[in-house]
A and B are shown apart, each in its own frame.
Chain A
Amino acid sequence: MTADLIALLTTTIALATPLLLAALGELIGERAGILNIGVEGLMLTGAFAGMLGSYATGSPTLGMLAACATALLLGVLFALWVVTLDVDQVVAGVAINLLAVGTTGVLYRAFFGNTGSALTVAAFAPLAIAPGVALLAPLRQPAPVYAALALVPLVWVFLFRTRLGLRLRAAGEAPHAAESVGVNVVAMRFGAVLAGALLAGAAGGYLSLAYSNTFVEGMSAGRGFIALAIVVFGRWQPLGVLAGSLLFGAASAAQFQLQAAGVAVPYHLLLMLPYVLTLVVLAIASRAARGPAALAQRRSLCATAD
């Protein structure tokens, strides 16, 4: 029983981490008024670039940097569209997703052959914390897990305890009012999008360099969209996002444990578990939740919003 719980907790943390990274990034963007549904594509790009970086250099750390940098580049493109050119955010996000799926697939085949290859890259190893103590196994996670957890308070302090954070939130709540008191809304939003892209890239890098040590096409497998739901679930709060990521991670982990235990429930129902749980909690939790007032509104059209 104890062993089962330890395994459940270990898997929960491992599965929650990419969601946490991506959702924290999306949270920063949404707080500035930018809805980026391209998280999925940024993650996939990060996973591919991370693998490629580690493959080329033999270092997962450099791979992770490549993941973040490449997603950041794509983030610049997205920011140019939605912030500078004021394009519809949903359309731009879809474009990012399509671009990422196509480009990673094409490049992967160009580098590693049409029918795939035996590809194993250097990946982050779990930290050897208190080896021999079975109860502490859930703590033995690769370094990016700890970085993701450390980001939760950091993002909170940034958003709610710094002047820059206040300006960023003002850009998402009342951009015109913020502009009238001298906040550079364009700069705030541009920066927020880049921060979000960087974290989505890190989430992708985690997938190919920490949770596994290879890349397959489409390996982000919808996690970017779950991260979007987690931001709503977490009521646009870092702690709420942490809770949502852990809940989703726990539900996924539990469903694998139940199947492995041979529980005689149709597997479709078990697979639904994390999604149903998210829906239920969203229905309850989001009733009182309200997003940033200017979220996903185009600046040219939002004059009436504030």
Chain B
Amino acid sequence: MPRIPKDWKLPQEPGDFLSDVGHTPEPRVTGWMNTPPVEIKRGMHCYAAKPDRLKKMGMPNPREWSAMDDDWKLPENWKETFLDGMKDRLGRFRTFQLFMDICVRCGACADKCHFYIGSGDPKNMPVLRAELLRSIYRQHFTTAGKILGPVAGARELTYERLKELWYYLYQCSECRRCSVFCPYGIDMAEITIMGRELTNLLGLNIDWIAAPVAFCYQTGNHMGIQPHAFVEMLEFFVDEIEEVTGVRVQPDFNRKGAEVLFVTPSGDVFGDPGTYTCMGYMILFHELKKLGLDITWSTYASEGGNFGLFTSNEVMKRLNSKMYAEAKRLGVKWILGGECGHMWRVVNQYMGTMNLELAEGSKMEEPVSPITGTKFENAKSTKMVHITEFTADLIRNNKLKLDPSRNDHLTVTFHDSCNPARGMGLFEEPRYVIKNVCNNFYEMPENTIREQTFCCGGGSGLNAGEDMELRMRGGLPRANAVKYAHEQHGVNMMACICAIDRAVLPDLMTYYVPEVDITGIHELVTNAMVLDGEKKKTVNLRGEPLPGKEDKK
């Protein structure tokens, strides 16, 4: 499924990419407020949301439009709507009000943004991306701005400036790397979230976000997979797994009375290499059945990810509600969540707050691993456990038969996905799991991992095909670090715990470091697992020969 659009060419050599990047703003004297109106570039933005997506969600101003057009077909009172929306949000989000007021423009965030590093466009410095909105805030909401205008850094909201704001709000992947370095904790992701809520008041979403949202609302998952198709796809995996391992797994769907509900991003059901991770889950659950795991998948809550996070808090809540609603309906005790990035930002920082009422009267309780008896005290309110927490606990208690040598053909590094890193702090669990299932593990340089990890370039709904240049530019710092690990340690596989990573990083690697492939952690886990009743394995889930076990014909 090559997704690079035909009419756009990447530079031949990745190195050429930087030849047009000055990394310093062009003008020596001119300040940013005097720069000409934004030029909307092909390859640097995503297609506009189609009207039926917005209609499905009951969102304003559904129509056909394109960011390349002069006329964006805005409602007549767009300015009033935007400013009213801003006022409303300033009063509802302390983050927004505070982050509009306290930035001192120290510039510590500037070179922390992967989009700035890769594009050299100064308006991609987080401070300046925020100033685009802040200048409008000053003009319309502060006395100094009203009186002094540009001297106070204030700018009237105009059609051109709205376009500029839109362009740069959809060039931010809400990765929060800048907020790690900000001395006041100003979080560009939060400002982007607010900004995108405002653009949604005018019907200015992108289709790569709006479509998954509408699909998820209707079918329960971003891919728009209907229940029967969802079952078929997993049953296809059952056959695949049997072919490789000789073991026939039996996933359950929508089963009432199960102890645990499993929710994972539908991207892993749909596209390689996420599918191998999905097979990994299925094998793991099958093995654990005998040890007492009573788990079910759901076709209704068949999506862990939540593109509502990139739309508005209301839409996020609407999509997220299915997890608790389904947990209650099925009568499960707790929810196990698969490997996904922004899903875990939502689960860890928003879900309980938004939707815990829906679990009232359910059978849900503090999660306990039925196999080890471990209580997941850190999840006692939200009642949702990350699968690497779950698996790490299994490994720690020697519940899995592992033969890490089966992964010996791999030299693995780990990409901390932005959201579990900076919206959760999930660092040790995945590393513990990897180190127990792989013999060769190396870290990337320290400024590019853990809380300082770099985005894959396609987070927050920007993982489309039409914005490939943006993705390749934004992914440059990550690719650069992978290249280093490849050259220094011979790394040929990068593990990650995010479905968007698994969709985005293969393209990035193909472009910059073709020697490195992408995997989810549970693909590695189950490739190393010695299964009950397995046949003599000669290949792994990808059909690649296992080291030392090649078919001798």
Are A and B genuine complex partners? no
Residues of chain B touching chain A, judged by Cβ–Cβ distance below 8 Å, are none
- List residues of A whose CB falls within 8 A of some B CB: none
